Structure 1
């Protein structure tokens, strides 16, 4: 065997370990509390954020209502995720569902390590599809809605 063959074999072994869901070294997309959203756990498909602003209206005779800014409304994030239990295991879905009832704010951290803020889980909607003959789902999707705590 040549040195080049050894390098190729070593690279193939390392790539196989990287792609394996058992190693836990997949890049993290977000982190909420201790839960890591990644390809190896729950892959975030997209995210959306909404922020509202409050304006109080004061009626005026013969004129358009006067508006006064009274503060910011709630900031919410929606995180649709997908899990393939045959590849990633079903454990990751239940880990995030287990975090929700703790009733405490969790830190939301970006992939680059920036702390976005404290958030609480408002809701989790789960959908299961593509069933095996034994009734287990091959695909789990969930949409998590979190709200800023600060």
Structure 2
């Protein structure tokens, strides 16, 4: 029997009220992308000059896989719950499993690649990629 402490230790990350964990939906790859914009200014007879023009918001990509039979199917329907989260059309607070608050993020993309099926077309294996974009430290 698992205790509340065991469940807290399983949390990988929370996006709003959606919990990423081994017992709900786990990711196996997390990619953080930061960018810095440098505009090119042409110069006659010289290399272009570069001018820093700002920094776009960072993005996070999560990749993972769900299996219908893993943990008696508890992961079944979790990607639908993420779709619902994205359809809220509002920034969600992102918190790591260690409790670090990372500000508010929005879902910009969810790719669901279904690769194995059982009777009546029920999906058995789903590979997913979720892309988040930073909104800000606060909602204002």
Matched, 1:128 2:114: yes
Greater RCO, 1 or 2 (C-alpha within 8 Å, sep 6+): 2
TM-score (norm 2): 0.84
Gap regions ≥5 residues in structure 2:
none
TM value normalised by structure 1: 0.79
* CA apart distance, 1:69: 0.8
| Aligned equivalent of 1:37, options 2, 14, 20 | 20
- Spell out the pairing of 1:1-150 with structure 2 (5 A cutoff): 17-18=1-2, 25=7, 27-86=10-69, 87=72, 88-150=74-136
Larger Rg: 1
Give 1 or 2: higher helix fraction. 1
What are the Cα deviations for residues 42-77 of structure 1, in whole angstroms up to 9, with x where unaligned? Answer: 111111011111112221111111111111023111
Q: CA RMSD in A?
A: 1.7
CA distance in 1: counterparts of 2:23 and 2:83, whole angstroms:
17
